[in-house]
Amino acid sequence: MLIDLIGVPLDLGAGRRGVDMGPSAIRYAGLRSQLEELGHTVIDRGNLTASIAETLPVGDLTLRYFEPIRDTLIQLASEVDQSCSQGHVPVVLGGDHSLGLGSVSGAAHNRDIGVLWIDAHGDFNIPSTSPSGNIHGMPLAALCGYGDERLIHLSGQRLANSMINPHRVALVAVRDLDPEERQLLTEAGVQVFATEYIDRYGMYETMVRAISVANQARDGFYVSFDLDVLDPAVAPGVGTPVPGGLTYREAHLAAELIAESGRMIGLDIVEVNPILDDRNRTATVAVEIALSTLGKRVWHKQHPRTAL
């Protein structure tokens, strides 16, 4: 497999500083060398340009730092589109989760794709429902055609309904939703597999069903993985930790089933915050999950496939 690493040192969309250092932390944890050990060919495209909060006005308080975030997302959409067009698999290293709007829309350019959004949060706010105005809480809504037109129409190009069908989006392991977010998710028809679903049916059954939702699309699906989906005991270095998250093994099982499907066309690994971390522990976990998503196994014997 040909893999493009794309760093996005962006923290303007988040409420806490520090995730701009996430790409460096993930690289330092050995992502490239370990992917190469799996037999992949890896091209590190370096980091995109992202502005620094101290040099900028906040702007509209309902869409904080919109213009510099938009500029970075347009860069990212172009990079991801180019990577997919070359038959490569883009792996985007964040950075806050606002980048998912750029990466997924780039992957969806002239392609019919589904989305697996694996996150403690819904990221389905719009400016009128967001309690903070932080854009990292809005990208999935914008991808599904909800919210401010300036997010839905980046670079004069519609990134949402014509590209991402909400019925082919699965939100996995969510456990912290704002009340109006719930209403919007229901209205849009996004399939939500919250933590209580995992408690009832287990991680295996949850992922089989979630993958079947995203896999309805002709050209595969994109995976956007926020490290705060893990329990804070496993991944302490995230900006918005929520108790009761996935265990280490549940996260790996999810990743392994994604790999088994053979349908993932791109991957985000986001919200690693080294300032809040313990000896780069969260970045190391991020690398290990990325490796499982891209084919690493404890035991390489083929397991019986399910109908994904």
- DSSP letters for 228-278: GGB-TTT----SS--SS-B-HHHHHHHHHHHHHHT-EEEEEEE---GGGSS
Q: Is 171 helix (H, G, I), strand (E, B) or coil?
A: strand
Query: pLDDT value at position 157?
Result: 55
Q: What percent of the chain has pLDDT over 70?
A: 94
Q: Is the dihedral of CA 94, 95, 100, 105 positive or negative?
A: negative
Q: Is 97 one of the catalytic residues? A: yes
299 located within any domain: no
Per the domain annotation, does 305 fall within a domain?
no
Q: How far apart are CA 91 and CA 82, in angstroms?
A: 13
Indicate if 268 belongs to the active site.
Answer: no
Residue 37 within any structural domain of the chain: yes
- The pLDDT of residue 160 is 38
Find all residues with CB under 8 Å of 171, minimum gap 6, and list them.
117, 119, 122, 124, 140, 185, 190, 191, 192, 193
Q: What is the pLDDT of residue 303?
A: 55
Q: Phi first, then psi: what are they for 255, rounded to 5°?
A: -65, -40
pLDDT at position 300 = 59
Rounded to whole angstroms, the Cα distance separating 143 from 158 reads 9
Residue 218 belongs to some domain of the structure: yes
- How far is Cα 166 from Cα 24, in angstroms, rounded to an integer? 33
Whether 4 is catalytic: no
Choice among 20, 136, 250, 277 that is catalytic: 136
Marked catalytic residue, from 4, 20, 119, 148 = 119
Catalytic option among 121, 176, 250, 268: 121
In a domain, 285, yes or no: yes
Given the residues 96, 181, 226, 256, the one annotated as active site:
226
Question: E strands within the chain?
Answer: 2-8, 41-47, 89-94, 114-118, 153-154, 157-158, 169-172, 191-193, 221-226, 264-270
Catalytic residue among 81, 148, 228, 250: 228
Q: Can you name the residues that pair with 214 across neighbouring β-strands?
A: none
Write out residues in the chain with pLDDT < 70, as ranges: 155-163, 299-308
Domain presence at residue 276: yes
CATH number, domain of 181, equals 3.40.800.10
Q: Which of 152, 106, 100 is nearest to 126 (CA)?
A: 152
Domain membership of residue 155 (yes or no) is yes
How many domains does the chain fold into? 1
Predicted confidence at residue 70, as pLDDT, reads 94
Asked if residue 225 belongs to a domain, the reply is: yes
What pLDDT, on a 0 to 100 scale, did the predictor assign at position 161?
Answer: 37
Question: What whole-number distance in Å separates Cα of residue 160 and Cα of residue 89?
Answer: 21
Among candidate residues 260, 259, 235, the one with its CA nearest the CA of residue 247: 235
Which is catalytic among the residues 181, 256, 271, 277? 271
The question of whether 277 is a catalytic residue gets the answer no
The pLDDT score that the predictor gives to residue 162 is 44
Range of the domain at 85: 2-293
Per-residue pLDDT at 308: 47
